C-alpha cells in the first residue's frame, strides 16, 4: 500500500523559506508523476509543482522562480523547496502521486496536474506579512 507522509511545514514571515518533504513507502519514486498541490480554506485546490520519471518539472505560474520540486530516489523522498514565501502561499500542502499513468510526462506540461490518485495527509504552511 502506498503511503505518503509530508513534513516540514510551519509558520514563517514573508520572504522566508521552507522545505517540505514527502516520505514515500510502498512504491518507488522516480517513476510516474509526483507532485504537490495546496488548498487554502474556502478556496479550490491549486496545483503547485510536478515532476516525472525523466526529472522534468512543471510549476504553477504563481510559484515559478520561487519553488523547486525534486526527488531523491535513494531516500524515496519528494521535496518542495519554497523560497521568498508570500502570504498568499498560506495553505495546506499535499504531496501527491499518479501511479495509474494518467498524468503521463507531467513535468513537460505547461501547468502541473491538479488531480492525482494518491495524496498524503498534508502539512500546513503559514506565511505572515
- pLDDT over 90 for what percent of the chain? 88
Q: How confident is the model at residue 42 (pLDDT cuts 50, 70, 90)?
A: very high
Q: Three cell numbers at 2?
A: 502506498
The mean per-residue pLDDT over the stretch 29-40 comes to: 95
**Structure confidence at residue 122 (pLDDT):** 97
Of 17, 103, 15, the C-alpha closest to 57 is 103
The mean per-residue pLDDT over the stretch 23-46 comes to: 95
Place of cell 520519471: 53
Of 97, 39, 86, the C-alpha closest to 63 is 86
Of 35, 76, 79, the C-alpha closest to 58 is 35
Cα(56)–Cα(81) distance, integer angstroms: 16
Q: Three cell numbers at 59?
A: 510549476
**Structure confidence at residue 54 (pLDDT):** 92
Amino acid at each position: 500500500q502506498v503511503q505518503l507522509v509530508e513534513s516540514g511545514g510551519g509558520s514563517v514571515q514573508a520572504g522566508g523559506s521552507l522545505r517540505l518533504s514527502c516520505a514515500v513507502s510502498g512504491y518507488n519514486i522516480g517513476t510516474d508523476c509526483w507532485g504537490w498541490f495546496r488548498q487554502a480554506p474556502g478556496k479550490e485546490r491549486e496545483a503547485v509543482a510536478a515532476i516525472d520519471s525523466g526529472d522534468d518539472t512543471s510549476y504553477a505560474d504563481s510559484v515559478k522562480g520561487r519553488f523547486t520540486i525534486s526527488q531523491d530516489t535513494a531516500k524515496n523522498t519528494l521535496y518542495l523547496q519554497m523560497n521568498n514565501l508570500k502570504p498568499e502561499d498560506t495553505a495546506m500542502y499535499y504531496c501527491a502521486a499518479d501511479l495509474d499513468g494518467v498524468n503521463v510526462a507531467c513535468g513537460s506540461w505547461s501547468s502541473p496536474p491538479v488531480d492525482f490518485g494518491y495524496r498524503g495527509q498534508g502539512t500546513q504552511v503559514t506565511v505572515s506579512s
